[in-house]
């Protein structure tokens, strides 16, 4: 809304009240418009004089002399019992007192601006004078006006004239003072830093130094900034630099001592993580804060300041969002091991997945805040997205399918990060489960990326989803020349050896998970516990009598499994020798008749 429209708005509120109360016909509209134009010009002249600090007040001493003369006349007329004349002169006194109060207010505004008074000074000054002007006139004056306005004698005419002049003067003064109160930026630069810290006074003090004043006049004339402003900006930046290099470490250490007193396994205490969280956002925030102050100091145009505020506010919100995300991310980094130990059902990739979603949501909120600061209609954007939602959904069909595929993988818990999995075409270790794809590192050290929508719909063999038990299966071939009694005894010795082996899972050395709850599936099968132990004479082979050995190592780790298997093979060899048996190998016996 322009200043011209605002002036008309305030004038319509105050000045025409009286005129409308008298009844206005169509012929008076032109006169009202002329009055509006005059009032508008008057308000603009007042602001111009305040800005130029050249407002010339009327001769207050002459007003005071006139008030004294009128006071004497009032006493005389009271003695003569001329009631109407008394009221006429009382109205004239009120008019002069209103002029004195109004002119003193404008003078005090100029003085307050010249001496760099804070915002509260101007607000208090203007509100006090507006309250005085809002005091209603005594009802007796109004009744007298109604009685005398149509009479033709001189006293009645002068009374009517004074009454209307007082009303007009009061409305005009109210219009100006309220406008000055509502539009303080039009005659003084108002902002938090100047109002709270009185930086303008500091700048003027620097510019008043003798060897700086001439140079400041030169730079102020040609470049629209003074040496005092430049010095103050440099001091602010230097102060912020000291804060960034010294104070942040102290703050981080202080907070760390309050909340955390122990160190973590990685030998980095909470101070390091806390500093990682607040260090960079706080450094950038302080530098933006220094730029913010510098803009208020160097730029005099309030319109430009208002245009830059949305961007600065958005940067502040972005830094706050960055800090919140860093707190969440670094907090999970600090407490991840404790969290996973306390809650074994919590999956690492689920935490990372949630963090990524939170990051996207925070970025979207910052973008929406920026749109709102720039005056962009968010509702219109939402409506347009609703209309184009079908097209967007069709265009991003594969992306959405992969996203929901990742959700299926997370919720089904078919595999986790670090698991050894095998599909129809891929076998390797899961490196990362992302929002769109899953990355797998093969055993020949190649990286394979598979869309989650495909991975969620194919059979997956997960070799890591086992708690106890990695299978050892072999056939032990004994020669036909060995005695059957020896082979049976060998079988029994093999079973005893495996049952008592510390690294072989069996009913004897492996406890089952028991629960009183009714379950549709065995808990051992769900968690991957296998302790089957079988040793049997299985079959007569072409060159040997085969003994089946079927068991599980306790550790599912591949290297542990190899070590266990090696130890078993060595012990089998000793048992075969102990029981007077021989290992069979492929042989052929040729029989020749005659």
- For the chain, how many residues are written? 594
DSSP structure class, residue 465: -
Average confidence (pLDDT) over 286-297: 78
Least confident range from 67-81, 240-254, 418-432, 507-521: namely 507-521
pLDDT at 539 over 60: yes
Q: Give the per-residue pLDDT at 476.
A: 93
Task: Verify that 87 and 158 share a domain, yes or no.
Answer: yes
Q: Is the pLDDT of residue 318 over 90?
A: no
In a domain, 112, yes or no: yes
Give residue 77's Cα distance to chain centre: 74
pLDDT at 24: 45
188, 219, 252 — which closes off a domain? 188
Dihedral sign of CA atoms 134, 139, 143, 145 in order: negative
Per the model's pLDDT, the better-predicted residue between 318 and 547 turns out to be 547
Residue 552 DSSP SS3: strand
Q: Which has more confidence, 109 or 20? A: 109
Same domain, 294 and 165: no
Tell me what pLDDT residue 11 has.
45
**What pLDDT is attached to residue 286?**
78
- Report d(CA 236, CA 293) in Å as an integer: 8
Do residues 409 and 455 make contact, with C-beta atoms less than 8 angstroms apart? yes
Shared-domain flag, residues 37 and 139 = yes
Q: Which residue has the higher pLDDT, 289 or 8?
A: 289
* Residue 489: CATH number of its domain: 3.30.70.100
Domain of 327 in residue numbering reads as: 305-387
> 16-30, 184-198, 261-275: which has the highest mean pLDDT?
184-198
Shared domain for 97 and 14, answered yes or no, is yes
User: Are 426 and 546 in the same domain?
Assistant: no
- 62 and 202 in a single domain? The answer is no
Give the integer Cα–Cα distance in Å for 196 and 407: 52
Angle at 13 between CA 10 and CA 17, to 5 degrees: 140
Most confident residue range from 318-332, 432-446, 501-515: 432-446
Q: Does residue 213 carry a pLDDT above 70?
A: yes
Residues 255 and 344 in one domain: no
- Distance (Å, rounded) from C-alpha 539 to C-alpha 477? 10
Any domain includes 594:
no
Alpha-carbon distance 346 to 528, whole Å?
A: 18
DSSP letter (8 states) at residue 203:
H
Report yes or no: 435 and 399 within 8 Å, Cβ to Cβ: no
| Residue 61 scores a pLDDT above 70 | yes
Same domain, yes or no: 54 and 114: yes
State residue 572's pLDDT score. Answer: 93
Contact 148, 156 (CB under 8 A): yes
Residue 532 resides in a domain? yes
Whose tokens are 């509006």? That residue is 36
Query: pLDDT digit string (tens) for 403-412?
Result: 777 777 777 7
Phi/psi of residue 424, each to 5°? -60, -35
Token duo for residue 485: 């009694």
Cα angle value 351/352/358 (rounded, 5°): 90
Is the pLDDT confidence value at 167 over 90?
A: no
pLDDT classification of 4: cutoffs 50, 70, 90: very low
- Percent of the chain past pLDDT 90, that is, above it, reads 10
The number of folded domains in the chain is 5
d(CA 331, CA 356): 15
| pLDDT for residue 534 | 92
- My answer on whether 218 and 116 are in the same domain is no
Of the candidates 412, 410, 578, 409, which has an alpha carbon nearest to the alpha carbon of residue 486?
A: 578
* Phi, psi at 198, each rounded to 5°: 55, 50
Question: Residues with Cβ < 8 Å from 548, sequence gap 6 or more?
Answer: 473, 475, 534, 535, 536, 537, 538
The model's pLDDT over 331-352, given as tens digits with 9 standing for 90+, comes to: 666 666 666 666 655 666 666 6
b/e map of 502-535 (b: 16 or more CB within 10 Å)?
eebbbeeebeeeeeeeeeeeeebeeeebbbebeb
Average pLDDT value for the chain: 75
Q: With contact defined as beta carbons under 8 Å apart, do 212 and 206 qualify?
A: yes
Pair (500, 572) in one structural domain: yes
Q: In the chain, pLDDT over 70 holds for what percent of residues?
A: 69
The verdict on residue 588 lying in a domain is no
| Same-domain pairing of 57 and 183 | yes
Largest distance between two CA atoms of the chain = 179
Say which DSSP state 583 is in. B
* The pLDDT of residue 523: 67
Q: What CATH number is associated with residue 431? A: 2.30.30.60
- Considering the domain architecture, whether residues 434 and 539 belong to the same structural domain is answered as no
Q: Tell me how far apart the alpha carbons of residues 103 and 110 are, in angstroms, rounded to a whole number.
A: 11
Q: Is the pLDDT of residue 128 over 70?
A: yes
581 backbone dihedrals φ, ψ, rounded to 5°: -115, 160
- pLDDT of 1 reads 41
> What pLDDT shows up at residue 159?
84
* Residue 407 domain-assigned (yes or no): no
Contact status, residue 272 vs residue 203, Cβ threshold 8 Å: no
pLDDT of amino acid 31: 56
Give the three-state DSSP class for 516: coil
Last residue of a domain, one of 249, 271, 300: 300
Is residue 56 predicted with pLDDT exceeding 90? no
pLDDT for the residue numbered 7: 44
Distance CA 104, CA 58 (A): 10
DSSP track, 337-379: HHHHHH-TT--HHHHHHHHHHHHHHHHHHHHHHHHHHTT--HH
pLDDT at position 465: 79
User: Are 409 and 433 spatial neighbours (Cβ–Cβ below 8 Å)?
Assistant: yes
Q: Is residue 586 domain-resident? A: no
548 is a domain residue: yes
Q: How far is residue 451's CA from residue 436's CA, in Å, rounded to a whole number?
A: 6
- pLDDT at position 354 over 90: no
Average pLDDT over every residue of 437-454: 86
Q: Are 425 and 468 in contact (CB under 8 A)?
A: no
For residue 469, pLDDT over 60 is answered with yes
Domain edge (last residue) among 337, 371, 387 = 387
When mean pLDDT is compared across 129-138, 162-171, 529-538, 573-582, the lowest value belongs to: 129-138
CA dihedral 486, 491, 492, 497 (to 10 degrees): 120
**Is 191 a residue whose pLDDT tops 60?**
no
Which segment of 21-25, 201-205, 231-235, 526-530 scores lowest on mean pLDDT? 21-25
* Contact in structure between 184 and 193 (CB atoms under 8 Å): no
Q: What is the mean pLDDT of residues 226-254?
A: 74
Structure-token pair, residue 269: 């205490």
Is pLDDT at 147 greater than 90 in this prediction?
no
| HSE, side-chain direction, 13 A CA sphere, residue 141 | 19
């Amino acid at each position: 809304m322009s200043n011209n429209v605002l002036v008309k708005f305030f004038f319509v509120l105050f000045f025409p009240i009286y005129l409308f109360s008298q009844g206005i016909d169509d012929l008076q509209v032109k006169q009202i418009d002329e009055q509006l134009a005059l009032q508008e010009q008057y308000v603009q002249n007042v602001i111009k004089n305040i800005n130029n600090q050249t407002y010339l007040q009327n001769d207050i001493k002459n007003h005071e002399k006139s008030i004294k003369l009128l006071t004497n006349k009032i006493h005389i007329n009271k003695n003569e019992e001329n009631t109407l004349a008394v009221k006429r002169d009382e109205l004239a006194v009120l008019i002069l007192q209103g002029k004195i109060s109004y002119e003193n207010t404008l003078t005090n505004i100029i003085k307050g601006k010249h001496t760099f008074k804070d915002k509260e000074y101007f607000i208090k000054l203007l509100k006090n004078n507006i309250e005085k002007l809002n005091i209603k006139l005594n009802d007796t004056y109004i009744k007298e006006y109604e009685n005398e306005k149509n009479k033709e004698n001189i006293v009645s005419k002068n009374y009517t004239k004074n009454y209307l002049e007082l009303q007009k003067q009061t409305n005009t003064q109210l219009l100006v003072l309220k406008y000055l109160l509502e539009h303080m930026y039009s005659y003084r630069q108002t902002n938090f830093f100047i109002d709270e810290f009185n930086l303008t006074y500091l700048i003027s003090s620097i510019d008043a130094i003798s060897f700086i004043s001439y140079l400041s006049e030169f730079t102020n004339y040609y470049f629209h900034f003074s040496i005092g402003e430049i010095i103050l900006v440099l001091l602010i930046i230097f102060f912020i630099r000291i804060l960034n290099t010294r104070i942040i470490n102290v703050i981080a250490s202080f907070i760390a001592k309050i909340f955390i007193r122990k160190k973590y396994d990685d030998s980095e205490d909470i101070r390091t993580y806390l500093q990682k969280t607040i260090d960079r956002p706080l450094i950038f925030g302080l530098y933006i804060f220094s730029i913010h102050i510098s803009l208020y100091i160097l730029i005099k145009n309030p319109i430009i300041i208002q245009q830059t505020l949305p961007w600065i506010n958005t940067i502040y919100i972005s830094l706050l969002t960055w800090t919140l995300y860093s707190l969440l991310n670094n907090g999970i980094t600090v407490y991840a091991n404790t969290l996973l130990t306390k809650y074994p059902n919590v999956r690492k990739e689920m935490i990372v997945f949630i963090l990524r979603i939170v990051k996207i949501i925070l970025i979207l909120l910052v973008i929406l805040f920026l749109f709102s600061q720039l005056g962009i209609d968010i509702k219109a954007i939402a409506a347009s997205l609703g209309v184009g939602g079908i097209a967007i959904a069709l265009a991003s069909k594969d992306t959405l399918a992969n996203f929901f595929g990742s959700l299926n993988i997370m919720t089904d818990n078919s595999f986790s990060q670090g698991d050894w999995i095998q599909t129809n075409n891929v076998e390797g270790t899961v490196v990362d489960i992302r929002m769109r794809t899953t990355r797998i590192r093969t055993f020949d050290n190649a990286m394979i990326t598979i869309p989650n929508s495909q991975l969620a719909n194919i059979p997956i063999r997960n070799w890591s989803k086992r708690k106890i038990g990695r299978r050892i299966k072999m056939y032990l071939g004994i020669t036909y020349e060995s005695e059957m009694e020896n082979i049976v005894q060998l079988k029994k010795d093999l079973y005893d050896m495996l049952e008592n082996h510390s690294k072989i899972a069996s009913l004897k050395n492996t406890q089952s998970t028991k629960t009183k709850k009714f379950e549709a599936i065995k808990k051992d099968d769900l968690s991957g516990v296998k302790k089957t132990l079988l040793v049997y004479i299985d079959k007569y082979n072409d060159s040997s009598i085969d003994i089946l050995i079927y068991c599980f190592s306790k550790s599912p780790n591949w290297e542990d499994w190899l070590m266990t298997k090696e130890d078993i093979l060595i012990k089998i060899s000793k048992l075969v020798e102990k029981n007077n048996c021989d290992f069979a190998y492929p042989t052929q016996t040729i029989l020749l008749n005659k």
